[in-house]
Amino acid sequence: MASSSSKQVISFSSATPQIKSKTMSVPIESLEVQIESPVDFPSLNRNEMLLESLISAQELFPYFCMLNGPTYVELVKHFWVRAEIYDLKASQMEMEEKILIDPSLQGKTREEMGLEPFRQEEIRSSIMGLSVVISVDTIAGAIRRASEGRFVYGLNSKKSSWIPVVNRTLYHSVNKGRYKDMDMKAKVLLKIQNENLLPKGSGGDKSSLDHQVLT
């Protein structure tokens, strides 16, 4: 996968290949990979759905171009059945294990313990014996977008200051509306979001406040 920067997009270990144990008991053949659908912006333009300026403002065109490429379903499945999250808690446990083995390391930094510094959360797995690490920077590099911005988890749907903004933007009203109250442009954006940015899988058109703010 190419990147606009000199950074390596996906980290592969050069160590001796090792088969990583599965981290989930779900049979691999039962997994269903959600494949994002390409978005035909020229066709939308011809139907007066002018969304390109919005996509351009978010610097997401490289991502939508990627959707025209192939999806390697079996590789995705093999990756996820062996995936685990490496976060701050995991990094602390890693240090504690080092101290249990060698108590003289108590009070030492990660670097002094011979460990890599903790930079950000990662998804760690392996494919065909090769270690694979994916982070936010990995994803940003793959879609050629700056790794920045923020996401607020668990917006309160009754007290959030975003509610008036959502209502005016999606429903053109100060009151909460429903899917049928959206104009066609908002419906198309919601469909793109649900199929390409935050895939929901099967289900209706009802979205959480988090999803509505993103739209």
What DSSP assignment string belongs to 5-41?
Answer: SSS-SSEE--SPP-PPPPS--S-GGG-----PPP--H
Encoded tokens for 17: 């290949």
Q: How confident is the model at residue 7 (pLDDT cuts 50, 70, 90)?
A: very low
Provide the domain limits for residue 29: 1-35+71-149
Residues in the chain: 215
Per-residue confidence (pLDDT) for residue 103, from 0 to 100? 93
Q: Please choose, from the candidates 93, 116, 115, 95, the residue with its C-alpha nearest in 3D space to the C-alpha of residue 106.
A: 95
Per-residue confidence (pLDDT) for residue 203, from 0 to 100? 52
Report the C-alpha gap between 12 and 24 in whole angstroms.
Answer: 22
The pLDDT tens digits of the residues spanning 36-48 come to 888 999 999 898 8
The count of domains in the chain is 1
Across the beta sheet with 122-127, the strand order is 11-12, 130-135, 122-127, 84-86
**Is 109 part of any domain?**
yes
Q: Which residue has the tokens 């981290």?
A: 23
Q: Which residues pair with 127 in a beta bridge?
A: 130
pLDDT of 92 higher than 80: yes
Q: Which residue has the tokens 């403002």?
A: 57
Contacts of residue 147, defined as CB under 8 A and 6 or more positions apart, other chains included, come to 136, 137, 140, 141
**Is 25 part of any domain?**
yes
**Is 214 part of any domain?**
no
The pLDDT tens digits of the residues spanning 26-37 come to 888 888 888 888
Q: Please choose, from the candidates 122, 94, 120, the residue with its C-alpha nearest in 3D space to the C-alpha of residue 108.
A: 94
**Is 145 part of any domain?**
yes
**Is 170 part of any domain?**
no
**Is 24 part of any domain?**
yes
The pLDDT tens digits of the residues spanning 128-171 come to 888 899 998 998 888 888 887 776 666 666 777 888 888 888 88
**Is 174 part of any domain?**
no
Beta-strand runs (E) in the chain = 11-12, 84-86, 122-127, 130-135
**Is 61 part of any domain?**
no
Report the C-alpha gap between 22 and 63 in whole angstroms.
Answer: 30
